[in-house]
Chains A and B, each alone.
Chain A
Amino acid sequence: MSGNVSAIGFFTRTRRAGRIDITDILSWLWLIGGTVAVLVPVLWAGMSSLKPEAEITRFPPTLLPRAAVQVEVQGFDKPLSLWNVTADDETREMAMVRRIGLKAQMVDPQNPGKPVSVDTRTISPVQRLTVATENYTDPLTRFSFLTFLKNSVFVTFVATLLTLIVNALAAFALSKYRFRGDKTIFVLIISTLMIPLTVVMVPAYLVIVGVGLVDNLWGVIIPTVASPTGVFLLRQYMLTIPDELIEAARVDAASEFRIFWRIVLPLTAPALAVLAIFSVLWRWNDFLWPLIVLSSRENFTLQVGLNAFQGEFSVQWHYILAMTFLSLVPVTLVFLFLQRYITTGIAGTGMK
Chain B
Amino acid sequence: MARATGLADRALDLAMALFEAPINAVERLIGKGRMPYVFLAPNLVLFGIFTFLPIAIAIGYAFTGGTELLISDRPFVGLENFRKLLTCDSYLVPGSCEESLFWTAIWNTLWFVGFNVAATLLVALVTALILNRAIAARGFFRAMFFYPVLLSPVVIGLIWKWFLDRNGLLNVFLQMLGVPPEIFLLDVGWSRFFVVVVSVWFHMGFYTLILLAGLQAIPKDLYEAAAIDAATPSRTLFRITLPLLGPSLLVVLLLLMIRSVQIFDEAWVLTNGGGPGTANTFLVQYIYQMAFAGDLRLFGLASAASVLMGLVLLVLTLVQLRLGKKVES
Contact = CB atoms under 8 A, between A and B. Distances in A.
Given A198-B309, A203-B53, A60 B175 contact: yes
B264 A198 contact: yes
Interface string A332-349: 101100011011001110
A239 interface: no
A220 to B, nearest CB: 12
Interface in B67-117: 69, 71
B152 A288 contact: no
A27 B49 CA distance: 50
B193 interface: no
A331 B148 CA distance: 10
B12 A265 contact: yes
Interface string A310-345: 110000010011001001100110110001101100
A38 B198 CA distance: 10
Interface in B119-147: 126-127, 129-131, 133-135, 139, 141-147
Given A37-B201, A45-B163, A199-B310, A348 B213 contact: yes
Contacts of B168: 44
B207 to A, nearest CB: 10
Given A38-B201, A170-B39, A347-B213, A321 B158 contact: yes
Main secondary structure on A side of the interface with B: helix
A340 B146 CA distance: 11
A209 interface: yes
A8 B167 contact: no
B54 A203 contact: yes
Given A44-B169, A288-B265, A15 B151 contact: no
Contact of B162 (A44, A167, A286): A44
A199 B309 contact: yes
Contacts of A331: 150-152
Nearest to B11: A161
A185 B50 contact: no
B129 to A, nearest CB: 4
Interface residues of B, number: 111
B314 interface: yes
B39 A27 contact: no
Given A44-B163, A223-B46, A226-B51, A352 B27 contact: no
Nearest to B269: A307
Given A257-B20, A331-B150, A173 B159 contact: no
Interface in A1-59: 4, 6, 8-15, 24, 27-28, 30-31, 34-35, 37-42, 44-45, 48, 57-59
Given A14-B134, A166-B42, A331-B152, A34 B145 contact: yes
B33 A179 contact: yes
B47 A189 contact: yes
A260 interface: yes
B165 to A, nearest CB: 8
A100 interface: no
A48 B133 CA distance: 37
Which bracket fits the contact residues of A? Answer: 35 or more
Contact of B265 (A12, A13, A258, A287): A287
Interface in B33-55: 33-37, 39-40, 42-44, 46-47, 49-55
A4 B43 contact: no
Interface in A204-259: 204-207, 209, 211, 222-223, 225-226, 231, 255-258
B223 interface: yes
A199 B288 contact: no
11 contacts: A8-B233, A12-B234, A15-B134, A40-B163, A179-B36, A199-B58, A199-B306, A255-B27, A257-B24, A288-B265, A303-B154
Interface of B: 12, 15-16, 19-20, 23-24, 27, 32-37, 39-40, 42-44, 46-47, 49-58, 61, 69, 71, 126-127, 129-131, 133-135, 139, 141-155, 158-163, 165-169, 171-172, 175, 181, 201, 206, 209-210, 212-213, 223, 227, 232-234, 236-238, 241, 251, 255, 258, 262, 264-265, 269, 272, 284, 287-288, 291-292, 299, 302-303, 306-307, 309-310, 313-314, 317
Interface of A: 4, 6, 8-15, 24, 27-28, 30-31, 34-35, 37-42, 44-45, 48, 57-61, 165-167, 169-170, 172-174, 177, 179, 182, 185, 188-189, 192, 194-196, 198-207, 209, 211, 222-223, 225-226, 231, 255-258, 260-262, 265-266, 281, 284-288, 292, 303, 306-307, 310-311, 317, 320-321, 324, 327-328, 331-332, 334-335, 339-340, 342-343, 346-348, 350, 352
Given A31-B141, A288-B265, A352-B149, 17 more contacts: A34-B145, A38-B144, A38-B147, A40-B163, A41-B159, A41-B160, A45-B158, A169-B42, A172-B39, A189-B43, A196-B258, A200-B58, A207-B49, A211-B49, A226-B47, A255-B24, A335-B147
